[in-house]
């Protein structure tokens, strides 16, 4: 018996209502599943650790002011000078701890179904500053994701940071952040975040290559200037820089070993 002669349950009821038979109705596909929401933020342990460190150091840091004032008022200039050096070093340490604390507490990147929402440092430079901004960008407004490697320092101590930023269709640029390729922060792997945003937005990732940058200018928010900073470094130059750095480190380590050996031999040759 053919399928055309088979009367299925409900067909007579559908015919009475003037509707097509159930087996003649077109299949309706299920709506596409929503993309999983992904959140990048520091762990609770990391936030608690920096909070405890800051609170433990704060009383000692605050007490340096009165201690310095007492020495100055009593004319103890030599002691005041030494304490001033300690206070300056302590202030730098406290600032760095505060920066990391705020970064751990406030920084957050949320990849939603239709948009990316992030709260990240708004100051320039690879080190997070104290200003944060929250932005939300719809995937349909993203034009591309740009990545770039920036090289700081020279042969002695080169440091390479790779950064990612969002470029909207209107030309606006929003920096995500930088990672040290030798030690990527697992809480904020900005290159991975950029790749995921590009995947969800359906846009390309543009690699702008390698450039040399000045660390002081970067930290102060000064734009790149001069031929040296705007010159693109190709992979051959990068490999050559790494080779020179490895060679120099080898010479330094060998020299240190020789000096230690000479010192040991000299001690052994001295009469008891």
**206-244: pLDDT as tens digits:** 988 887 766 555 555 555 555 555 566 666 776 777 677
Q: Which has the higher per-residue pLDDT, 151 or 179?
A: 179
Task: Give the confidence band of 245 by pLDDT, cuts at 50, 70, 90.
Answer: low
Q: What is the pLDDT of residue 259?
A: 82
The structure tokens listed for 217 are 């200018």
Phi, psi dihedrals of residue 3, rounded to the nearest 5°? -65, -25
Cα radius of gyration rounded to whole Å, the chain: 31
Shared domain for 99 and 149, answered yes or no, is no
Which residues span the domain enclosing 93?
43-106
DSSP state of 72: H
Q: CA 30 → CA 34, 134, 162, distances in Å?
A: 12, 35, 41
Given a cut of 80, is residue 15 above it in pLDDT?
Answer: no
- In Å, the largest CA–CA distance within the chain is 120
Q: What is the pLDDT of residue 254?
A: 85
Given a cut of 90, is residue 125 above it in pLDDT?
Answer: no
Q: What is the pLDDT of residue 143?
A: 93
Q: What is the pLDDT of residue 111?
A: 94
Asked if residue 118 lies in contact with residue 188, where contact means CB atoms within 8 angstroms, the answer is no
Shared domain for 68 and 153, answered yes or no, is no
Shared domain for 101 and 163, answered yes or no, is no
Given a cut of 90, is residue 137 above it in pLDDT?
Answer: yes
Shared domain for 153 and 94, answered yes or no, is no
Tally Cβ neighbours within 10 Å of residue 86: 12
146 DSSP β-pair partners: 165, 206
Contact residues for 165 (Cβ-Cβ < 8 A; gap 6+): 145, 146, 173, 174, 175, 176, 194
Contact residues for 204 (Cβ-Cβ < 8 A; gap 6+): 144, 145, 198
Q: Number of structural domains, the chain?
A: 2
The residue from 52, 87, 106 where one domain ends is 106
């Amino acid at each position: 018996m053919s399928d055309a002669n088979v009367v299925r349950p409900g067909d007579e009821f559908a015919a009475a209502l003037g509707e097509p038979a159930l087996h003649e109705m077109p299949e309706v596909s299920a709506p596409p599943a929503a993309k999983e929401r992904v959140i990048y933020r520091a762990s609770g342990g990391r936030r608690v650790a920096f909070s405890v460190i800051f609170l433990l150091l704060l009383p000692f840091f605050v007490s340096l002011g009165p201690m310095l004032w007492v020495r100055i008022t009593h004319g103890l200039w030599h002691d005041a000078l030494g304490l001033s050096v300690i206070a300056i070093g302590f202030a730098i340490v406290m600032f760095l701890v505060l920066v990391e604390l705020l970064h751990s507490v406030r920084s957050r990147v949320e990849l939603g179904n239709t948009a990316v929402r992030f709260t990240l440092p708004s100051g320039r430079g690879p080190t997070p500053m104290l200003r944060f901004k929250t932005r939300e960008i719809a995937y349909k407004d993203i034009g591309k994701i740009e990545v770039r490697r920036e090289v700081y320092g020279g042969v002695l101590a080169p440091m390479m940071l790779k950064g990612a930023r969002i470029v909207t269709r209107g030309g606006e640029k929003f920096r995500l952040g930088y990672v040290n390729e030798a030690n990527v922060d697992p809480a904020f792997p900005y290159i991975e975040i950029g790749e995921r945003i590009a995947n969800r937005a359906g846009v390309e990732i543009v690699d702008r290559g390698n450039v040399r940058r000045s660390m002081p200018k970067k930290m102060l928010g000064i734009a790149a200037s001069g031929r040296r900073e705007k010159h693109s470094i190709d992979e051959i130059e990068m490999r050559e820089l790494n080779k020179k750095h490895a060679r120099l480190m080898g010479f330094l380590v060998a020299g240190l070993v020789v000096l230690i050996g000479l010192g040991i031999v000299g001690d052994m040759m001295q009469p008891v």
